Structures are given as structure tokens and as C-alpha cells.
Amino acid sequence: MSALDNNAKEIAEDAGGEGVATSSPEINQKEQDNRSAGPVILFFIIGLFASLILGWIIFPKLLYSKKKQPIDFNHVLHVAEVEDGCESCHFFREDGTYSGVPKLEQCIDCHEEIQGDSPDEIKFVEEYVSKGREVPWLIYSRQPDCVFFSHAAHVKGAGMDCVTCHGHIGESESLKIYEENRITGYSRDIWGKSIGGFKKNTWDRMKMDDCAECHREKTANIERTDVKTPTNRLIDHLIDVVYPGTSKSGKGGSIQTERDACFVCHK
């Protein structure tokens, strides 16, 4: 006990020496405990914040590399110039396949020669049009090769709007920075801005779950293309509880677990 007591005294003295002379052994002991608990809690808090900052702020920054599009493109300006709106550049071919991002062919009528003095147009005409090279556009919505996606089924078949899946790119004046996931090589628009997977809009992310979520709702109601509100979900759930098997949305639980379901999107 006396050795301990001496130890405590020494530590107390090291730490500044205040209150050493008069205190009894018990008080000394208590003081020592308090002094060692303080740093532990502090280190815990520092560690907690450090890992939160690392996980939520630094990791996403390191995970994505930022790339600029080869040239900028103004949708608003062009939609006003062309005759057929979006379809002048993004159209369905005869066989029902989708043209996707436009080829030089769709631009050449207007950009054979430089029309204005925008540096992007000058670069476009000099580096691509006059050399006959296609612009290597970076595609925000590009899915892995194993995924089968058909615009015809969604746009023609189900009459869906581009905004539902792509957001407001068609009304933008400038192309945003493309962010590439260093591990998977896919665009950040697939996983979405939030690393935790939260989304506010239907177009915020487009992972397998997001496709499946909408498909499940579509089975319940072909017309609806918006995300379910929590109230609707609750009502569906209550119907399931009271009258089991009557609500269509409750059936199966997951579109992926239905028979042959994987082959809808993976051919």
C-alpha cells in the first residue's frame, strides 16, 4: 500500500504537485483514477471523430477520381437550336435499340465550321470534327457490362421520363465533372453521392436494388414511376397484415428471388 501511495504521490507531483501535501491515501487514489480516465475518454472521442472523418469525408474523396469531359456541352442551348428536341440526338433506331450519346453525324450539319468563339466549340471542331474523330464522352449512367438495360422497355413501353433515371442533365448548361470509382471503375452516379446509400431522388443512385425497387412497385402498379412514400409503404404493410396475400406489393418480397428473375437484367 505504501509503495502504491508513493507512486501516486510521484505521479501527482509530476502532474503539477497541487494538493499533494495534505491529501490522505484514498483521495490520492481517487485523483489518480480521475486523471487517467480523462485521457481515455479524450482519446476515445478523438478516435471516434477521426474515424468518422476518415470514413465519411476522406475515404469518398480518395475513392473517386475526378475527370473532365473532353469538351463541355450545353444542353439548353442545343435543345433550343434543334428541331426534334432530345430525339435529334438521343433517338431509337429502326430496330428499337437506343442511339445513346450522339455521334459526330448528329453535329456535323451545324459544326462543319466554327460558328462562334466558344473555346469548347473551337476545340470540338479542330480536334474532332475536322479529324473525323468521335468525342470520347464519359457516360455518367454506364452500367457494368453484365447488366442488360433497354431504353425501349422503359421510355417507349412504360412511357417513363428521362429525368426519373438521369436527373436534370437535359436541362443543364454545362456537363458536370465525371467521378470514377477507383476500385470498380464505374461512375459515381451508380453508387450515388452518399456513401451510406441514402437517396432523395429516384436518379440519385442506380444500383441493383434501385432497379429492383422500382420493378417491384411496377408490378403493383404499372403506372407509378415515383418512389414510394413511407406512408404508402405503411398502408401496403397494414393491408398485408390484415388481408394476407391481397396486396400485390407484398408478394414475393424481392423481385430478384422470383423464378428466372436474374435473367431479366443479366443476360
Q: In the set 28, 151, 188, 249, which binds ligand HEC (CB under 6 A)?
A: 151
Q: In the set 11, 60, 63, 75, which binds ligand HEC (CB under 6 A)?
A: 75
For residue 182, the minimal CB distance to ligand HEC (Å) is: 15
For residue 113, the minimal CB distance to ligand HEC (Å) is: 11
Tell me the window of 16-24, 30-38, 66-74, 243-251 that interacts with ligand HEC (CB under 6 A). 66-74
Q: In the set 157, 193, 246, 253, which binds ligand HEC (CB under 6 A)?
A: 157
> Residue 202, interface with ligand HEC (CB under 6 A)?
yes
Q: Between residue 77 and residue 106, which ones bind ligand HEC under the rule CB under 6 A?
A: 77-79, 81-82, 85-86, 88-90, 100-102, 106
> Residue 176, interface with ligand HEC (CB under 6 A)?
no
Q: Between residue 214 and residue 233, which ones bind ligand HEC under the rule CB under 6 A?
A: 214-215, 218, 225
- Spatial distance between the Cα atoms of 73 and 138, rounded to a whole number of angstroms: 12
> Residue 211, interface with ligand HEC (CB under 6 A)?
yes
